[in-house]
Amino acid sequence: DPMFCNDRVKSLAEFQLKALKHATTAFADVTRVVYSTCSMYVEENELVVQRFLQDNSGWVLVAPKCLTSWQRRGIQVGGLSEEQANAL
């Protein structure tokens, strides 16, 4: 169930958000970041991306130009637009 969430999943999601924020602020010339997990849970995927974008308006989510044949999960939750969800 992708909507499953417990304390461990929440803790991992917090760490992932912290790592994503670090990746976008610790390096002066960074202009692109790839965020990827091996988790199937919304809490660690869509909601981390949504929370990051909510707090960092200078960043935008774009769909990758490679792997276009891969099916995207794109669950629209937590304020993600349909376009943003489709990019995941």
Catalytic residue (one of 3, 26, 34, 38): 38
The answer to whether residue 5 is catalytic is: no
Candidates 45, 76, 69, 77; CA nearest to 86 is: 76
Residues 6+ apart with CB under 8 A from 9: 39, 41, 43, 44
Q: Give the separation between CA 81 and CA 69, rounded to whole angstroms.
A: 22
The end-to-end CA distance of the chain, in Å, is 18
As annotated, the active-site residues are: 38
